[in-house]
Amino acid sequence: RLDYLNEALVLERQGDFDAAVTSYRLALREHPTDLRILQNMAIALTKVGRVEEAIRAYRRAIEVDATASGAQYGLAFLLIKRGDAVGAAAHLEAFLAHPPRGEDAARWIAHAQATLDQLHGASGGAGEPTRS
């Protein structure tokens, strides 16, 4: 039986993100609540410009586990691109409430905090960012 997750990872390394998305979808059929698959699929979807589908994949990952820091982070930045400062701020706050661990974590945490500060600053300092 084919391991669709590993196939997707290989396809990504080869730069074939469209094919990787297909393999991630097949992997999800077998493991519909696997956070790694959902988050990796969202990243691949983003790389091929399928932002709305990526947003749905991140939201599904957050439904599975609200503390999924990678999904919170990724979704926040897609919402910023879409102009949804309120939604982005909420997901950055959720990311910062349950930050990742590891050697790169400090960099992601600092970036999330700086972006959140900018979002709050863009609202005129009123505390809550405005929805565009």
pLDDT tens-digit series, residues 85-128: 999 999 999 999 999 999 899 999 999 999 999 999 975 544 44
Confidence of residue 74 (pLDDT cuts 50, 70, 90): very high
Residue 77 is encoded by which pair of tokens? 């930045």
- Spell out the residues 6+ positions from residue 127 whose beta carbon is closer than 8 angstroms to its own: 120
Segments making up each domain of the chain, as ranges: 1-65, 66-132
Closest residue by Cα to residue 9 from 58, 44, 34, 50: 44
pLDDT tens-digit series, residues 50-71: 999 999 999 999 999 999 999 9
Query: Which CATH number is 1-65 given?
Result: 1.25.40.10
Enter the pTM of the model: 0.88
116: how many CB neighbours lie within 10 A of its CB? 20
